[in-house]
Structure 1
Amino acid sequence: MAQSSLSPSPDTKSQVTLAYDNQPVYICSKCSAIIALQDETVSKAFSGRDGRGYLMHSATNIKFGRREDRALLTGVHTVADVFCLGCNERVGWFYHKAADYSQKYKEGKYLLERERLVKENNWSLDE
């Protein structure tokens, strides 16, 4: 993961955000906390509770809910909801275990819901 540094961000709702050397990130749609680097995306073809979702290798600025077995579209998985550390909004879940062997590749990864995120590219235009 990239080096991070604390820096104030006057144009966002949050008091302090993490900067990832201008790398494209997904931020919380409610408080603008950085949730994941876009480079950590495994797949954009997943479904969450509220619509489309992204399977991610990692996430940051999150906290875990309790672990539970949940019947999902691809079978029973042991998951824990993940919440934004900045505003406590549920942003997806973490896959602890998959019952079906064909789903084991999800273990240790995050499902982040697209509706709970904003894609921020941090582009700068040359002037």
Structure 2
Amino acid sequence: ALNSNDAFVLKTPSAAYLWVGIGAREAEKTGAQELLRVLRAQPVQVAEGSEPDSFWVALGGKAAYRTSPRLKDKKMDAHPPRLFACSNKIGRFVIEEVPGELMQEDLATDDVMLLDTWDQVFVWVGKGFPRRGEDRSIE
């Protein structure tokens, strides 16, 4: 489903669309435009609520927009998500914050990670994480 706080690219064999939700920030718009540049596509710009029928047909049908109250809150930037690596490799349980702007590549495939988004906490268990009984990182 389309999220009102984001921008999306829809590419079909005959057309390209740049859909922009009413809550989309410049970073989302810029990212979508960069993808279109890489695809060498000349998009039809579509604003939320002004979608042509051809857009909905290409998308597979019309659906309700999704949104997140947290993303609407402009104060969100004051509390960016935080990522922590959890380890028991040295014989004691250690949690360390991953510094800098978060990237998907920060999720270590051999660790347990905690992502704190301020209103939710997510646990990431990497596929290469050793499933030994003595490691209590998951607990």
Is the structural similarity TM-score above 0.5?
no
Higher helix content, 1 or 2? 2
Higher strand content, 1 or 2? 1
Decide which structure has the larger Cα Rg and report it. 2
Indicate the structure whose relative CO is greater, using CA pairs within 8 Å and at least 6 residues apart.
1
- Normalising TM by the smaller chain, what interval? under 0.3
* TM-score under structure 1 length normalisation: 0.23
* TM-score under structure 2 length normalisation: 0.22
